[in-house]
């Protein structure tokens, strides 16, 4: 199966990267373009801006904004800081690794080493955004509000933001400084059909059953990796994953890798969902007993 973008065209060779998971599977990801990343950020920024406007209107309506103007302004700035950082960090720490803006544009954040995206990496890449963009913009905003804008400082702040803003255009992996420090990529999701055609094709066939020990091998992170493998349909990746699971679970080879993985995926998904219903959330294969 050839690699295809969502428009059915092969992505430029410069945007394709080898992405080897801990199971030894190369998912061959496609890096997000600078335009796609800018579009995702713009969507998130508009949502955040709308939220801040709504909060401001509520404060004005409640008569709070008029009392102690400087204190309210400080509280508003602190609230904006917490909101935007919490927005990016919490969404990217989730299972999808993407904010609403990234999800709408088909992007997500992954670790460049093929492992699970860690909270530390997410915090590092988003903390750098404050230095790259929001710190100089906040400085300009404070100067403008005080009517004391200095030409040199204004030019310096704009140049500072411009350097970081255009940094992804001058490296082959489209990395922000935050990505460089955190060891992350922003990649394009390739959404092929999984449920409709794959499940329909197997609807009339008996499904395999798996022991608890076989299903305890993996968690949510591995389930998502397995889904990526099935969606992309690359025979070599499917064979590698199927062989790995069979070896670890002691299951003999029945020479139907796609059927085996489809049944294992469905069984693992059902098991993890049952666990979450009783408060047990297993993030990955290393999270034993949670």
What was the pLDDT predicted at 233?
79
pLDDT computed for residue 33 by the predictor = 84
Give residue 212's pLDDT: 84
Which residues fall within 8 angstroms of residue 11, CB to CB, at 6 or more apart?
3, 5, 30, 188
Q: Hey, what's the torsion of the CAs at 36, 283, 118, 105, to 10 degrees?
A: 10
CB hemisphere CA count around 240 (13 angstroms): 16
Predicted pLDDT of residue 1? 31
Placement of tokens 């093929």 in the chain: 114
CA-wise closest residue to 273 among 219, 202, 228: 219
Q: Got the DSSP string for 33-98?
A: PHHHHHHHHHHHHHHHHHHHHHHHHHHHHTT-TTSSHHHHHHHHHHHHHHHHHHHHHHHHHSTT--
Nearest to 256 by CA among 233, 239, 236: 239
Q: Could you tell me the mean pLDDT of each successive run of 10 residues in the chain, 290 residues long?
A: 40 63 64 87 92 80 62 75 89 86 90 82 88 73 60 72 78 84 83 47 66 82 79 83 88 87 83 58 50
- Helix 151-166 / helix 135-146 crossing angle, nearest 10 deg: 160
C-alpha 178: how far from its chain's center?
A: 14
Q: Tell me the residue ranges of DSSP E strands in 5-156.
A: 16-17, 29-31, 107-111
Helix (H, G, I), strand (E, B) or coil at 184: strand
For the question of whether the overall pTM of this predicted structure is more than 0.75, the answer is no
pLDDT value for 76: 75
Residue 23: predicted pLDDT: 56
Q: What pLDDT score does 102 carry?
A: 92
Q: What is the pLDDT of residue 198?
A: 47
Give the pLDDT score at 46: 93
Helix, strand, or coil (residue 63): coil
CB 92 within 8 A of CB 109: yes
Where along the chain do its domains lie? 32-188, 195-277
Residue 65, classed as helix, strand or coil, is coil
CA distances from 9 to 3, 6, 12, 90 (A): 8, 7, 9, 33
pLDDT at 277: 44
CB-based contacts of 14, cutoff 8 Å, min separation 6: 172
């Amino acid at each position: 199966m050839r690699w295809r973008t969502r428009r059915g065209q092969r992505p430029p060779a410069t945007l394709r990267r080898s992405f080897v998971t801990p199971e030894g599977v190369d998912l061959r990801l496609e890096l997000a373009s600078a335009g796609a990343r800018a579009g995702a950020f713009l969507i998130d920024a508009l949502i955040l801006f709308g939220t801040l406007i709504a909060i401001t209107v509520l404060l004005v309506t409640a008569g709070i904004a008029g009392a102690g103007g400087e204190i309210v302004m400080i509280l508003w700035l602190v609230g904006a800081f917490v909101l935007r950082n919490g927005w990016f960090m919490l969404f990217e720490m989730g299972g999808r690794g993407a904010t609403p803006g990234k999800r709408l544009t088909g992007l997500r954040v992954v670790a460049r080493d093929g492992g699970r995206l860690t909270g530390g990496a997410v915090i590092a890449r988003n903390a750098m955004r404050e230095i790259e963009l929001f710190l100089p913009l906040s400085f300009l905003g404070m100067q403008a509000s005080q009517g004391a804008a200095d030409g040199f400082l204004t030019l310096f702040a704009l140049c500072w933001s411009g350097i970081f803003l255009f940094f992804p255009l001058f490296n082959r992996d489209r990395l922000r400084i935050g990505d460089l420090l955190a060891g992350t990529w922003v990649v394009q999701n390739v959404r092929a059909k999984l449920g409709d055609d794959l499940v329909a094709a197997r609807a009339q066939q008996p499904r395999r059953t798996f022991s608890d020990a076989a299903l305890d091998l993996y968690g949510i992170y591995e389930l998502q990796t397995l889904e990526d493998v099935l969606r992309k349909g690359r025979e070599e990746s499917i064979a590698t994953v199927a062989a790995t699971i069979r070896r670890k679970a002691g299951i003999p080879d029945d020479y139907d890798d796609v059927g085996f993985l489809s049944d294992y995926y469905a069984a693992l998904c059902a098991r993890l969902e049952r666990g979450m219903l009783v408060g047990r959330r297993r993030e990955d294969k290393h999270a034993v007993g949670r």
